[in-house]
Amino acid sequence: MATIIQTAAGEVDRVEVDPVTLDIIENALRNARYEMDEVLFRTALSPGIREQHDEFPLIGDPDGKMVVGQFGLSIPALLDRYEGTIEDGDVLLTSDPYSCDGAISHANDWLVVMPIYVSGRVVGWASMFGHMSDVGGKAVCSMPTDAHTIYEEGVLIPPFKLYAKGRLNEDALRIILNQVRQPDWNRADLNGIVAACRTASRRIQELCARFGVDTYVSALDALLDRNYRAMKALLTMLFEDGETISFSDYICDDGVGHGPYKLTLSLTRTGDKVLLDFTGSAPQSSGPINYYLNENLARMFFGIYMITVADPQILWNDGFYPLVDVHIPAKTFWKPDFPSALNARNHGVGRIFDLFGGLLGQKTPDLLNAAGFSSSPHFMYSGYYADGERAGEWFQLYSIGFGGIPGRPIGDGPDGHSLWPSFVNIPCEYLESYYPLRIERWETVADTGGAGLHRGGNGVDVAYRFLQPGTIAIHDDRWLTYPWGVNGGDPGARSRKWIQRADGSTEILPSKVHGVAVARGDVLHFVTWGGGGWGDPLARDAELVAREVRRGLVSAEGARRYGVVVTEAAEVDADATTTLRAELAADRPASPPVFNMGPPLEEVLDNCEAETGLPAPKPPVAV
């Protein structure tokens, strides 16, 4: 437990804050949080943060409870486990999930936390983590798909003072940066994160100067309380007392031959409170897919789904935490024993979207979306230039792929987009001017989005031609189990990856692989998965289906899934459409199940090799 040194005497007075001041402080906090993003984006060097925005800011109250932010880190978890003093000017850095109780969840994420002092008193915390493209270890980009322990995943930084009373610990930083392949990236990105936290700190100090510390801190309490009250009302409204609802989804494989991993989440309301229970989930993996989930992060995921929809302008925060109990059994996918490998936890982080969506959607039709692009698949390419002006120079790329947003109550899922806030793709021209790559195709694939009244977004095919020999790595999922459809919608298509070798041969790649050698002229096709469909496809406007055929987003054959027949010129054939729709309607059950997960799992596994070109994974075993 950290010892926080404060020179100010006594407690902050709790004062009444008028509602307008409260809203003003809420607004100012929101601005400060976006300013943090801006500072980092503009100064970072690694493409992952600079171009794709793989970073997460947070501002906490004096106890470290989030008052503004997104999700993905927990200050109290870090402070609980940190043994030492904290003083004005200190900046903590860590990258070890196990020594901060999962405040972050893999070693690539570098977490910075700093106290915000006003007149000798901690009035809050500024914090941010960013995904470092490389933190050393045996695989380029530090995410070995065959890792069994965290020791294979690069430098592990326990929480320590990067700055002590404003003074940089240069030696420690030098030792850390000596472990990584692109130290200038890490240095710049870390600088940017610290600068962003300092910016937040300044803004909070300005707020305290403007309103007084008493008012500011009391306002935070009120903002937290606002979330508490909103959540309390929502819980009673949505869930019946004593009823348990449950939902399960899968991670397809663990990189070392096992899968699929079943992930189960249940919710029970008792009185004012609910219990989120992860019992029934698969055991921990001997591979790197484990997602070491901090209980507070589970609360955050839950909260954002619940509250954002109720008041989109709310500054949602940790205030409702006392209303949510979380149970995560030990030695499971969500709570593996040290020193299990964690690097590929991005699939679990992503699948939580689908898990919460499926769970809560049962009770809240406003929130019931199909399964979406619930991951952030990684593509990595590295090597030394073999020839040319840059011969001998090292290159290293870490990038994130995009896919189909699911069909939603409000409409179609966008094609080739991101579920993650603030993520953007790296422009082709950027890749080509900085890496020995030529992008030969970058388009969404027709029919990969699940059919529905609201179509699931299409997945994307990016074709990378390699202009220099090197190695590639891939982290992907949903190649085996389907992105499910809802309310009558079909599942989306699964992901695929293959290399068209310069020698003419074709090689299918597994979803999680690293160290694959590529030669000059080889072409990698990285095809991501589509979003599930929402609602009855036969009810979709036939003219819209035909227009999408003309747009190349749906094929003429694919239009038949909507019961739509199109002519050569992709116009609706009205008579044929009426006939086909009647046939399809007659051949299906009167009321479809809420979820369409595709064929039963046994059938999926039986057909695995024939359909995907890859052997079926073995069932997960307890380790």
Partner 1 sequence: MRYRLGVDVGGTFTDILLIDEDSGHTFRAKTSSTPHDQSIGVLTGIGKACRSADVSMADISQVLHGTTVATNAILEGKGARVGLVTTDGFRQVLQIARSYVPGGLAGWIIWPKPEPLAALEHTVEAIERIGADGEIVTPLDEDDVRAKLRRLRDAGIQALAVSLINSYVDGRHERRIGEIAAEELPGIPISLSSRVLPELREYERTVTTVANGYVQPQVARYLDSLAGKLGDSGIGGRLYVLRSDGGLATAPTAAANPVSMLLSGPAGGVSGAVWAAAQAGFTDLLTFDMGGTSTDVALVQAGKPRIGRETRVGDLTVRSASVDVRTVGAGGGSIAHVPPLTKALRVGPQSAGADPGPAAYGKGGQAPTVTDANIVLGYLPTDLAGGEIGLDRAAARAAVATIADEMGLPSVEAAAAGIVDIVNENMFGALRLVSVQQGFDPREFALVAFGGAGPLHANALGRLTGAWPVIIPPSPGVLCAYGDATTSVRDEAARTYIRRFSELTDAELSGIVAELTEAAAATVEAEGAPREEQTVSCHADIRYHGQGFEITVPVDMAVFKSTGFDGTGGGLKALGAAFDAEHERLFSFLLSNEHELVNIRVAVSGPRPHVQAVALAEGGADASQAVTGQTAVHLDGAAATATVYDRDRLLAGNVIPGPAIVTEMDSTTLVLPGHAATVHPSGSLLIRPAETSATGA
Q: Using CB under 8 A, which residues numbered 399 to 418 contact partner 1?
A: 402, 405, 408, 410-412, 414-418
Q: How far apart are CA 25 and CA 17, in angstroms?
A: 10
Considering only residues 60-99, where is the footprint of partner 1 by CB under 8 A? 70-71
365 binds partner 1 (CB under 8 A): no
310 binds partner 1 (CB under 8 A): yes
Based on CB atoms, which residue is closest to partner 1, 82 or 420? 420
Considering only residues 233-252, where is the footprint of partner 1 by CB under 8 A? 233-234
How far apart are CB 544 and partner 1 at their closest, in Å?
A: 12
Which positions ≥6 away from 1 have C-beta within 8 Å?
A: 79, 80, 82, 83
Residue 464 contacts residue 381 (beta carbons within 8 Å):
yes
62, 137, 372, 532: which one contacts partner 1 (CB under 8 A)?
A: 372
Hey, what are 269's tokens? 């309301």
Based on CB atoms, which residue is closest to partner 1, 38 or 609? 38
170 binds partner 1 (CB under 8 A): no
Neighbours of 397 (CB within 10 A): 24
Residue type, 105: S
108, 264, 296, 425: which one contacts partner 1 (CB under 8 A)?
A: 425
> Under DSSP, is residue 268 helix (H, G, I), strand (E, B) or coil?
strand
Best CA proximity match to 305, nearest among 346, 260, 347, 247 = 247
How far apart are CB 442 and partner 1 at their closest, in Å?
A: 6
Based on CB atoms, which residue is closest to partner 1, 198 or 581? 198
Q: How many CA atoms lie within 13 A of 327 on its CB side?
A: 14
311, 387, 393, 571: which one contacts partner 1 (CB under 8 A)?
A: 311
Indicate the angle between helix axes 170-177 and 183-211, nearest 10 degrees. 140
Considering only residues 19-38, where is the footprint of partner 1 by CB under 8 A? 19-20, 22-24, 26-28, 31, 35, 38
Residue 476 contacts residue 516 (beta carbons within 8 Å):
no
Neighbours of 615 (CB within 10 A): 10
Based on CB atoms, which residue is closest to partner 1, 165 or 390? 390
195 binds partner 1 (CB under 8 A): yes
Indicate the angle between helix axes 19-43 and 213-238, nearest 10 degrees. 90
Interface pattern 546-565 for partner 1 (x via CB under 8 A): -x--xxxx------------
Considering only residues 95-124, where is the footprint of partner 1 by CB under 8 A? none
- Please identify which residue in the block is written with the tokens 């619940």: 306
Based on CB atoms, which residue is closest to partner 1, 47 or 537? 47
Q: Quick one: DSSP state of residue 597?
A: -
Best CA proximity match to 129, nearest among 51, 65, 190 = 190
91, 93, 367, 451: which one contacts partner 1 (CB under 8 A)?
A: 367
314, 513, 601, 623: which one contacts partner 1 (CB under 8 A)?
A: 314
- The 3-class secondary structure across 348-373, one letter per residue, is HHHHHHHHHHHHHHCCCHHHCCCCCC
- Count of positions on this chain that bind partner 1 (CB under 8 A): 88
39 binds partner 1 (CB under 8 A): yes
41 binds partner 1 (CB under 8 A): yes
275 binds partner 1 (CB under 8 A): no
> Under DSSP, is residue 198 helix (H, G, I), strand (E, B) or coil?
helix
- Options 42-50, 108-116, 169-177, 584-592: segment touching partner 1 (CB under 8 A): 42-50
If phi over 0 gives left and psi between -120 and 50 gives alpha, with beta otherwise, what is residue 521?
A: left
Based on CB atoms, which residue is closest to partner 1, 343 or 418? 418
47 binds partner 1 (CB under 8 A): yes
Q: How far apart are CA 409 and CA 418, in angstroms?
A: 18
- Options 153-161, 227-235, 286-294, 557-565: segment touching partner 1 (CB under 8 A): 227-235
DSSP E strands, 385-444: 394-400, 437-444
584 binds partner 1 (CB under 8 A): no
Q: How far apart are CA 455 and CA 158, in angstroms?
A: 46
Interface pattern 462-491 for partner 1 (x via CB under 8 A): -x----------------------------
